[in-house]
Amino acid sequence: MGVNRSDDDGDDELESLFETKKARGIFIYRVFAVSLFVAICFVYAYRFNQILTGEGTTRWTWLGLVAAELWFGLYWVLGQAFRWNLVFRNTFKNKLSQRYEESKLPEVDMFVCTADPDIEPPIMVINTVLSLMAYDYPSHKLSVYLSDDAASDLTFYALLEASLFAKHWLPFCKRFKLEQPSPAAYFHNHTLLTSSPPNAHEFKNIKKLYHDMKKRIEDQTKLGRISREERSKHSEFSQWDSYSSRRDHDTILQIILHKKDPLSSKDEDGNYLPTLVYLAREKRPQHRHNFKAGAMNSLLRVSSVISNAKIVLNVDCDMYSNSSESVRDALCFLMDEEKGHEIGFVQFPQKFDNIIKHDIYGSTLLSLIDVEMSGADGYDGPLYIGTCCFHRRDALSGMKFSVGYKNDLLKSDDQRDNSIEVNLQELEVKSKALASCTYEENTLWGKEMGVIYGSLVEDVMTGLCIHLKGWKSVYYSPPRKAFYGVAPTTLLQALVQHKRWAEGELQILLSKNSPAFYGHGRINLALQMGYSYFNCWAITSLSKLYYSIIPSLYLLRGIPLFPKMSSLWFIPFAYVIVGESVHCLLEFVLFGGTIQGWWNDLRMVLYKGTSSYLFALIDNISKLFGLPDSPFTVTAKTMEEDVSERYEKQVMEFGADSPLFTVLATLALLNLFCLLGILKELVIGEDWFGTCEKMSLQILLCGFLVLINIPIYQGLFLRKDKGRLPSSLAIKSTTLALSTCIVFYMLKE
Ligand SMILES: O=c1ccn([C@@H]2O[C@H](COP(=O)(O)OP(=O)(O)O[C@H]3O[C@H](CO)[C@@H](O)[C@H](O)[C@H]3O)[C@@H](O)[C@H]2O)c(=O)[nH]1
Ligand SMILES: [Mn+2]
């Protein structure tokens, strides 16, 4: 979909720092959506007519079918909110520079969260940190905070190393105007990335420094602890003396680089480096730590004492910055004189650099990241998705927006620098207290202030609360991707991640901030619908399951559940199926996907829908009965070699015995048996044409489910590698599917 200028920026009197363009072709989409809606109504009319004429099958089957279809329809309507009004943004960084250069630019605090050095390797984490430190922005106005929920001395060691390497890396980035500020990514692909490349000698030098550092870190990582020799070099390691486990330790806080320590905080050219802080908040087994949300709130408090920038960038430890300009891009929105003061946060897309060509696990999240977020932007309400997001500290801290709110970013203030005489040790002691695990008791933290607790998608919950308090948000997808992260690379990881998301989304629907209920009158209707659309992921599992089981089973009994081909009622069904498929395919391809990628994505929509979402629903329900909360399962960012090989070859990775797979395999087999059953019927039966005519839609649905499940059949029966489905699972699911089919068939008589 292309774009053209809208007129809502007026006549440019105020020389806005950004512009908003409506998607081209949106009118065509709306006409299509209306026509699809009409077709859906006809489907309902058909079902209604069935009651009147007394046609149809057993009452329960029929009721289930109607319920599923009603839900599909309603859910589709909710989804339209974020497709109705797509907009795209554009920034004018030149204007920003002309108006606010250097002394007037605000400070920015940047938060990186990590939680486990085994699956989030320290070298990856510090690449993220370095990429943020190297923004094309006055370095002394930047502060980077690393929160380490594992309190790992390895990660700390890596960060110390990074602070030394930064002294060479930042000047190198500035000298050669690198657009790519992550060293790992730069050395991987350096030729493409700058207009004024360094000469061979300079390049070799910096590369050697990086590789030496990498080797030192990896040596320690292999050792599993910090060697005595390295430990003796840095007194800071004494903070680990009282450490007993990840879940039981004091606050460990170290200001590694700070202007107040001029000797060690300047780069090789004599310029100040960004402030750099390591934080492992206090953890005790008897205190909830609230996962990443808790980490973020500790960071918010600690940073408020150390640098207290008015803008806060949050990234996951795997999301390195891929563009040196993102801070300035974000400022074009937040500092816009006319509209900036209303904007609570600027969200950039999450992009992934480990996705293979046809994206077998649908990790690009194309419809979410590229379409629905832009749709949400049309209503000034893109969601906060946890990473790659610039927040206004006021909004994130829980302040309500009011019409009189003054954009304090516009006041020039270079004030804090020399005014207060700070002693770094005092600063550390003071901020440590803010990261204690009892600090939040009887406060509004996590309820009204900071990142909000109570959902496994604390990010969406927090963004929602910011919207509920009257702030707007912006989605900005720059031509050069702003951030790259690591997407799940096995089916199980992807499904577990989606289970966490779906569970968290449903928690939001059921929370006191529920967009569907509490949101009424507080956020606009489209946002209410769009948020609810995401919140209801888990619920969609029921209708998806119903549709992928019941119609196929009825094939075995030869009972049609849909109109036959010669009936006029066939038309609306066909229109909905063809229309929606073509629309999805077009959308996918127009936004940069491939046809095979679309097919893979469709498979993942089905897999997520029938397994992740189902378990998310079950877990939510069992919580109502007092069972414990699900934990935040951190996604692995590394792969074993054979897994990686299969990933490159686009072979689906199972390899484990998980209930998620049992559900998928059973469904796949059930549909296979049903299809075989009807094929047999067609071959030996007398009236094959009549059967086809009568059962066409059911055969089509079942055939589609079989085709899309081919990787599962291969994983169950044909593959020999370690990534196949375990035989125990094959036996379990075959027995389940076969007995269901047999029982269902026998009950016919
Ligand atoms: O107890 C924890 C658990 C996780 N994390 C960090 O949270 C981030 C996201 O974790 P990851 O396992 O990569 O989850 P994803 O599903 O990839 O993350 C998405 O979804 C999460 C909500 O489920 C959001 O928090 C993330 O920002 C968003 O990118 C990582 O940096 C972790 O180190 C913590 O700091 N503490
Ligand atoms: Mn992640």
Mode of pairing for the β-strands spanning 320-321 and 483-485: antiparallel
Residue located nearest, by CA, to atom 8 of ligand 1? 316
Q: Which two tokens stand for residue 475?
A: 């989605």
User: How many Å apart are CA 465 and CA 121, to the nearest integer?
Assistant: 33
Q: Which of 84, 188, 69 is nearest to 572 (CA)?
A: 69
pLDDT of amino acid 103: 85
Which amino acid is located at 617 in the chain? L
Is residue 329 within 8 Å of 379, Cβ to Cβ?
no
Q: Which helix (H) or strand (E) is 446 found in, with range?
A: none
Q: Which of 119, 316, 456 to mutate to test the pocket of ligand 1 (most atoms within 8 A of CB)?
A: 316
Rounded distance from Cα 315 to ligand 1 centre (Å): 9
Given the residues 148, 149, 153, 377, the one annotated as active site: 149
Render pLDDT for 383-427 as a digit per residue (tens, 0 to 9): 999 999 999 999 999 999 998 898 888 875 555 544 456 689 999
Q: Which atom of ligand 1 is nearest to the CA of 635?
A: 12
Rounded distance from Cα 385 to ligand 1 centre (Å): 10
Asked whether 387 lines ligand 1 (CB < 6 A), one says yes
Rounded distance from Cα 634 to ligand 1 centre (Å): 6
The correct CATH number of 91-350+385-487 out of 3.10.450.50, 3.90.550.10, 3.40.50.12170, 1.10.3720.10 is 3.90.550.10
User: How many Å apart are CA 197 and CA 111, to the nearest integer?
Assistant: 30
What is the residue extent of each domain of the chain? 26-84+522-746, 91-350+385-487
User: How many Å apart are CA 501 and CA 633, to the nearest integer?
Assistant: 11
Rounded distance from Cα 581 to ligand 2 centre (Å): 30
Complete DSSP assignment for 257-270: E-TTSTTTSB-TTS
Among the bound ligands, the one closest to the CA of 635: 1
Enumerate residues 6+ apart whose C-beta is below 8 A from 471. 342, 343, 344, 345, 392, 395, 401
Q: Which of 173, 24, 20, 186 is nearest to 90 (CA)?
A: 20
User: How many Å apart are CA 531 and CA 381, to the nearest integer?
Assistant: 10
Q: Which atom of ligand 1 is nearest to the CA of 147?
A: 35
CB atoms closer than 10 angstroms to residue 66: 17
pLDDT of amino acid 74: 98
Name residues of the chain where pLDDT drops below 70.
Answer: 1-14, 54-58, 190-195, 412-422, 749
Residue located nearest, by CA, to atom 5 of ligand 1? 292
* Residue 149 appears among annotated catalytic residues: yes
User: How many Å apart are CA 683 and CA 696, to the nearest integer?
Assistant: 15
Among the bound ligands, the one closest to the CA of 494: 1
pLDDT of amino acid 4: 43
Q: How large is the angle between the packed helices 59-80 and 525-535, nearest 10 degrees?
A: 130
Q: Which two tokens stand for residue 507?
A: 């928690």
Rounded distance from Cα 365 to ligand 1 centre (Å): 16
Residue located nearest, by CA, to atom 19 of ligand 1? 386
User: How many Å apart are CA 256 and CA 166, to the nearest integer?
Assistant: 12
Given the residues 380, 459, 601, 619, the one annotated as active site: 459
Asked whether 155 lines ligand 1 (CB < 6 A), one says no
Q: Which two tokens stand for residue 602?
A: 């469709």
pLDDT of amino acid 195: 64
Q: Which of 110, 112, 113, 320 to mutate to test the pocket of ligand 1 (most atoms within 8 A of CB)?
A: 113
Residue located nearest, by CA, to atom 22 of ligand 1? 457
Q: Which two tokens stand for residue 691?
A: 């059967």
- Which residues of 92-196 form beta strands (DSSP E)? 108-114, 142-148
User: How many Å apart are CA 308 and CA 551, to the nearest integer?
Assistant: 59
Q: Which of 292, 505, 537, 638 to mutate to test the pocket of ligand 1 (most atoms within 8 A of CB)?
A: 292
pLDDT of amino acid 5: 41
Q: Which atom of ligand 1 is nearest to the CA of 488?
A: 17
Residues, CB-to-ion distance under 5 Å, ligand 2 = 316, 635
Enumerate residues 6+ apart whose C-beta is below 8 A from 444. 398
Rounded distance from Cα 239 to ligand 2 centre (Å): 29
Exposed, middle or buried, 384 (CB in 10 Å: 0-12/13-18/19+)?
buried
Among the bound ligands, the one closest to the CA of 501: 1
Q: Which of 634, 637, 638 to mutate to test the pocket of ligand 1 (most atoms within 8 A of CB)?
A: 634
Among the bound ligands, the one closest to the CA of 148: 1
User: How many Å apart are CA 167 and CA 270, to the nearest integer?
Assistant: 9
Q: Which helix (H) or strand (E) is 613 found in, with range?
A: helix 613-624
pLDDT of amino acid 143: 98
Asked whether 152 lines ligand 1 (CB < 6 A), one says no
Ranges of H-type helices in 536-593: 537-557, 570-590
Rounded distance from Cα 193 to ligand 1 centre (Å): 29
Rounded distance from Cα 101 to ligand 2 centre (Å): 34
Q: Which atom of ligand 1 is nearest to the CA of 317?
A: 31
User: How many Å apart are CA 28 and CA 583, to the nearest integer?
Assistant: 11
Q: Which two tokens stand for residue 646?
A: 């299969």
Complete DSSP assignment for 41-55: HHHHHHHHHHHHHT-
ipTM of the complex: 0.99
The CA–CA distances, whole Å, from 613 to 155, 204, 499, 544, 617 equal: 34, 50, 6, 10, 6
Q: Which helix (H) or strand (E) is 279 found in, with range?
A: strand 275-280
pLDDT of amino acid 228: 92
Enumerate residues 6+ apart whose C-beta is below 8 A from 400. 469, 470
Render pLDDT for 193-235 as a digit per residue (tens, 0 to 9): 556 778 889 999 999 999 999 999 999 999 988 999 999 999 9
pTM, rounded to two decimals: 0.95
User: How many Å apart are CA 227 and CA 237, to the nearest integer?
Assistant: 11
* Residue 248 appears among annotated catalytic residues: no
Q: Which atom of ligand 1 is nearest to the CA of 350?
A: 29
User: How many Å apart are CA 579 and CA 516, to the nearest integer?
Assistant: 29
Q: Which two tokens stand for residue 353?
A: 């650099």
Enumerate residues 6+ apart whose C-beta is below 8 A from 227. 220
Ranges of H-type helices in 81-152: 93-100, 122-133
Exposed, middle or buried, 357 (CB in 10 Å: 0-12/13-18/19+)?
exposed
pLDDT of amino acid 54: 64
Residue located nearest, by CA, to atom 25 of ligand 1? 386
Q: Which two tokens stand for residue 240?
A: 């680990």
Residue located nearest, by CA, to atom 24 of ligand 1? 386
Rounded distance from Cα 320 to ligand 2 centre (Å): 11
- Taking the CA atoms of 200, 202, 203 and 206 in sequence, report the sign of the dihedral they define: positive
Can you give the C-alpha Rg of the chain in angstroms? 28
Among the bound ligands, the one closest to the CA of 486: 2
The CA–CA distances, whole Å, from 165 to 89, 173, 259, 294, 402 equal: 36, 12, 17, 30, 44
Rounded distance from Cα 536 to ligand 1 centre (Å): 21
Asked whether 113 lines ligand 1 (CB < 6 A), one says yes
Residue located nearest, by CA, to atom 27 of ligand 1? 386
Q: How many angstroms from the chain centroid is the CA of residue 669?
A: 31
